[in-house]
């Protein structure tokens, strides 16, 4: 069984993430969307909230699982018997950081490959940070996040 992991903060999930999840789920037998718990990074949504939003959003994709991890991604990959890391690339500006992480992960575990997928052009400007800023200021995020979680995200942002 070919298992891939799509790791990230997902704080919160956006339509850009959904684009990658939907496309990657068609390539692999199982795709695990893995929310990172990073003690050094202040998140707006808790890990439980982020996972709940993703679960709602991927409801129609039967081979997608939602999980979380703390610590090294390669350790989580080994635990899940996964050999492929999925990463989305939006623009050249993402490349340098992603390139460094891909090489470092390969150094940590040479059996693990990173596969980059280009985000669809219409989502190339989209990020969780932009969604949070617009949402907090009362702007419309309707086309930026999955419809099933729009109200949940709006409520949280207005109150944060
Ligand atoms: O959505 P993000 O915040 O860009 O995701 C970054 C993430 C979670 C993929 C990255 O921070 C990560 O892999 N963290 C786990 C810790 C780890 O393995 N670090 C070494 C990577 S070189």
Query: In terms of CATH, what superfamily is 3-158?
Result: HUPs (3.40.50.620)
Q: What is the pLDDT of residue 146?
A: 98
Active site residue 41: yes
Taking each helix axis as running N to C, give the angle between helix 128-136 and helix 150-158, from 0 to 180 degrees, rounded to the nearest 10.
60
Collapsed DSSP state (helix, strand, coil) of residue 30: strand
Ligand 1 center to 44 CA (angstroms): 17
Every domain of the chain and the residues it spans: 3-158
Is residue 17 part of the annotated active site? The answer reads yes
Q: How far apart are the CA of 74 and the centre of ligand 1, in A?
A: 10
pLDDT one-digit tens code per residue, 95-149? 999 999 999 999 999 999 999 999 999 999 999 999 999 999 999 999 999 999 9
Residue 15 binned pLDDT confidence (cut-offs 50, 70, 90)? very high
Q: Which atom of ligand 1 is nearest to the CA of 87?
A: 9
Q: pLDDT tens-digit profile of 123-136?
A: 999 999 999 999 99
Given this model, what pLDDT does residue 74 score?
A: 98
Residues forming a β-bridge with 86: 115
């Amino acid at each position: 069984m070919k298992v891939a992991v799509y790791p990230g903060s997902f704080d919160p999930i956006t339509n850009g993430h959904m684009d990658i999840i939907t496309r990657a789920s068609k390539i692999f037998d199982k795709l695990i969307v893995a929310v990172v718990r990073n003690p050094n990074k202040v998140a707006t949504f808790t890990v439980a909230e982020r996972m709940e939003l993703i679960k709602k959003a991927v409801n129609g994709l039967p081979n997608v699982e939602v999980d979380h991890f703390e610590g090294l991604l390669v350790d989580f990959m080994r635990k899940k018997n996964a050999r492929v890391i999925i990463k989305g690339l939006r623009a050249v500006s993402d490349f340098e950081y992603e390139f460094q992480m891909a090489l470092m992960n390969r150094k940590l575990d040479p059996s693990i490959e990173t596969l980059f997928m280009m985000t669809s052009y219409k989502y190339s400007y989209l990020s969780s940070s932009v969604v949070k800023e617009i949402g907090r200021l009362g702007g419309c995020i309707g086309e930026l996040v999955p419809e099933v979680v729009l109200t949940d995200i709006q409520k949280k942002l207005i109150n944060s």
